[in-house]
């Protein structure tokens, strides 16, 4: 990317560069390049459209709507623009304007499935359930195997009092997609409601009335978590030991209310380590998923939050875990007009330390990849006052993680896990698992194609298909995973963390932006949206970001990786007689 220098007079060059940044998930830089494209060509509708997409990804829906509006002025017959603009209005909870845009999209394309689907959601949010049913019915007409459309039509029917029709739609949704868990929950709820109606009993109905079930203690422990010794001990002191002996912990003030906020890069094991900690404790564990809490209907999200807290209080000692808490407890000062978000945060505050809150023997843990988006009020004393940073795997952890994932697969010869660890400096735990998966793909596909080829040869000789496949599986040699496979996988798989660190730096640290206008460089330094006190709460992350951004550290990491890859290539050549130059095809 750095090698490409945009032609300052060519709007398309900036537009294409913006698209590349967008594909990489670097939406801020994408916007910078779309800005230049629009500056050079003010009637560049595609640039407005794609900039709107980038703003949407950054949850800046006001700017997204503004850009979609401009794109619609320049390209008034494009239904995709109106549909996307409607989506941005929907995310702002401006359902009436969303419906107007979906109407326009449908006028331009009478079979626009997504527009009907999204308009149905908007009508449901406005409690106009009959219109929602009509739109979801149209979606089903256009795509008869769309399980989620049956599920949503069932919800709309249930809320409009058509319990029998709702049950039929839930059944159809589950028939089309047996893994649709929410449809199963709503089916049980609708059947229960029907029984209650038969007995003359009332019910709240909807998701707020559905049970959020207590999970059993997870069947895992810290033995299932490779490496991370320092983090494990911190988690033991914060979670395991207090829950193992609550009375003793309370005596010394180690279980006096409040919760723990775990934050760090995505894919580094926050959720996994909490489940493992729960497995170490003799306590209940509730995983409060977003699908259990968030609801499209006004007031139900707050009811669900209250219900899950009550469930924890009735099953003490208990760990109550909120994953992706920024989606529930997001900042109320961002001014995006999301009243539902403010209400959800207020409910969380009330449940954690309100007048009637009684969370004795309940440990509340939350995890997030975007701690800067968590409302500051939730991080005060008595709430999520303790923060635990879960970093990327350290040097001792990486080989242990790779070895753990590789242990379940056929491995051939000696695998230099220490060299693989060096070659994957700066990788997330999820990236390391992906490397093992990719390494396994090469011998697996070789065996798959060889069996196919052998089967076809046997079938040409007159053997039936089943017999030919059975013999082919026995005759074809299925080789194990070797050094060369891991080497190719590391070459192919890049770390997923740099975009996240870049975003984190922009959110909690100073950011320098360099733009080129009329051939001259202009440098702009912007402060983060966090105050000094909030920055201090994320000191560990700031230190990591500053360390990673030092040029000598970047150079050192690069040298380590290239040296490790060189040694791995030499080992593959010496031990296997195979020269690895690139990732190649599986």
Q: Which residue has the tokens 């939050």?
A: 305
* Residue 317 domain flag: yes
Q: Which residue has the tokens 């845009």?
A: 101
Indicate whether 187 and 253 sit together in one domain.
Answer: no
Indicate whether 346 and 364 sit together in one domain.
Answer: yes
Exposed, middle or buried, 464 (CB in 10 Å: 0-12/13-18/19+)?
A: exposed
Domain count, the chain: 3
Indicate whether 178 and 29 sit together in one domain.
Answer: yes
Domain hosting residue 342, numbered range:
222-389
Q: Which residue has the tokens 């596909």?
A: 445
Residue 129 belongs to domain with CATH number: 1.25.40.10
Indicate whether 372 and 401 sit together in one domain.
Answer: no
Indicate whether 373 and 463 sit together in one domain.
Answer: no
* Residue 486 domain flag: yes
Indicate whether 118 and 45 sit together in one domain.
Answer: yes
* Residue 558 domain flag: yes
Tens-binned pLDDT, residue by residue, of the chain (586 aa): 444 554 556 889 999 999 999 988 899 999 999 999 999 999 999 999 999 999 988 888 889 999 999 999 999 999 999 999 999 998 887 888 999 999 999 999 999 999 999 999 888 877 788 899 999 999 999 999 998 899 889 888 887 778 888 889 989 999 998 887 777 877 877 777 676 555 544 444 444 344 444 455 667 778 777 777 887 887 888 778 877 777 787 777 766 555 888 888 888 888 888 888 877 776 778 888 776 677 655 567 777 888 888 888 877 777 888 887 776 655 545 544 344 556 677 777 777 775 455 667 778 888 888 887 777 777 666 677 778 888 888 888 899 899 988 988 999 888 999 999 999 998 999 899 999 999 999 999 999 999 989 898 888 888 888 888 888 888 888 899 999 999 999 998 888 888 888 878 777 766 666 666 656 666 666 666 566 666 677 778 878 887 877 788 888 888 998 999 999 999 989 888 888 776 555 4
Considering 209, 232, 254, which residue would you say is the last residue of a domain?
209
* Residue 242 domain flag: yes
Q: How far is CA 19 from CA 22, 48, 56, in A?
A: 5, 12, 15
Indicate whether 239 and 196 sit together in one domain.
Answer: no
Indicate whether 385 and 398 sit together in one domain.
Answer: no
CA 387/CA 417 separation, integer angstroms: 32
The H or E element containing residue 387 is strand 386-389
Indicate whether 407 and 259 sit together in one domain.
Answer: no
What DSSP string runs through 154-196? HHHHHHTT-HHHHHHHHHHHHHH-TT-HHHHHHHHHHHHHHHH
Residue 421 belongs to domain with CATH number: 1.10.8.60
Residue 341 belongs to domain with CATH number: 3.40.50.300
Indicate whether 36 and 17 sit together in one domain.
Answer: yes
229 touches 398 (CB < 8 A): no
Q: Which residue has the tokens 């003030």?
A: 253
Neighbouring residues of 475: CB distance < 8 A, sequence distance ≥ 6: 454
Name which of 257, 280, 501 is nearest 357 in CA terms: 257
Considering 152, 175, 209, which residue would you say is the last residue of a domain?
209
Indicate whether 312 and 287 sit together in one domain.
Answer: yes
Which SS3 state, helix, strand or coil, does residue 388 take? strand
**Angle (nearest 5°) at CA 155 between 152 and 157:** 110
Considering 354, 389, 424, which residue would you say is the last residue of a domain?
389
Q: Which tokens belong to 1?
A: 């990317």
């Amino acid at each position: 990317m750095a090698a490409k220098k945009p032609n300052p007079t060519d709007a398309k060059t900036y537009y294409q560069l913006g698209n590349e940044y967008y594909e990489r998930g670097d939406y801020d830089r994408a916007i910078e390049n779309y800005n230049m494209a629009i500056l050079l060509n003010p009637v560049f509708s595609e640039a407005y459209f794609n900039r709107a997409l980038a703003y949407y990804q950054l949850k800046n829906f006001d700017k997204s709507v503004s850009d979609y509006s401009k794109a619609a002025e320049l390209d008034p017959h494009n239904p995709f623009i109106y549909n996307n603009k409607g989506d941005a209005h929907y995310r702002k909870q401006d359902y009436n304007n969303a419906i107007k845009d979906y109407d326009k999209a449908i006028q331009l394309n009478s079979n626009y499935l997504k527009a009907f689907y999204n308009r149905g959601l908007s009508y449901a949010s406005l409690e106009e359930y009959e219109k929602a049913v009509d739109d979801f019915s149209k979606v089903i007409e256009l795509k008869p195997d769309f399980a989620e459309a049956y599920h949503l039509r069932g919800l709309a029917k249930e809320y409009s009092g058509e319990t029998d029709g709702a049950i039929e739609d839930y059944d159809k949704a589950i028939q089309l997609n047996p893994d649709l868990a929410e449809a199963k929950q709503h089916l049980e709820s609708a059947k229960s409601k029907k029984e209650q109606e038969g007995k003359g009993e009332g019910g709240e109905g909807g998701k707020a009335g559905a049970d959020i079930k207590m999970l059993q203690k997870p069947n895992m422990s810290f033995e299932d978590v490779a490496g991370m010794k320092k983090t494990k001990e911190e988690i033991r002191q914060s979670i395991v030991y207090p829950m193992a002996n609550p009375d003793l912990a309370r005596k010394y003030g180690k279980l006096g209310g409040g919760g723990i906020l775990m934050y760090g890069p995505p894919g580094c094991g926050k959720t996994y380590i909490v489940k493992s900690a729960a497995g170490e404790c003799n306590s209940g564990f509730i995983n409060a998923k977003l699908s259990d809490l968030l609801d499209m209907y006004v007031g139900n999200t707050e009811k669900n939050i209250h219900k899950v807290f009550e469930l924890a209080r009735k099953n003490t000692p208990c760990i109550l875990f909120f994953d992706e808490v920024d989606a529930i407890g997001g900042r109320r000062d961002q001014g995006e007009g999301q009243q539902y978000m403010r209400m959800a945060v207020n409910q969380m505050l009330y449940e954690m330390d309100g007048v009637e809150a009684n969370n004795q023997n309940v440990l509340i843990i939350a995890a997030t990849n975007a701690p800067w988006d968590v409302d500051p009020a939730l991080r005060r004393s008595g709430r999520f006052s303790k923060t635990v940073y879960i970093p990327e795997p350290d040097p001792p952890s990486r080989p242990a993680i790779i070895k753990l994932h590789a242990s379940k697969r056929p491995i051939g010869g000696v695998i230099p896990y220490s060299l693989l660890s060096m070659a994957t400096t700066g990788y997330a735990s999820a990236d390391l698992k992906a490397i093992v998966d990719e390494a396994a793909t090469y011998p697996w596909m070789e065996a798959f194609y060889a069996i196919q080829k052998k089967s076809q040869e046997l079938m040409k000789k007159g053997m039936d298909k089943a017999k030919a496949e059975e013999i082919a599986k026995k005759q074809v040699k299925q080789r194990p995973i070797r050094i060369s496979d891991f080497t190719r996988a590391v070459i192919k798989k890049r770390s997923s963390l740099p975009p996240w660190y870049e975003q984190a730096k922009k959110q909690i640290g100073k950011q320098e932006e360099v733009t080129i206008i009329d051939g001259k460089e202009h440098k702009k330094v912007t402060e983060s949206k966090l105050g000094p006190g909030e920055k201090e709460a994320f000191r560990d992350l700031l230190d990591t970001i500053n360390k990673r951004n030092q040029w000598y550290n970047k150079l050192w990491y690069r040298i380590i990786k290239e040296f490790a890859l060189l040694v791995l290539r030499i080992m593959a050549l010496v031990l296997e007689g195979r020269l690895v130059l690139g990732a190649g095809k599986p």
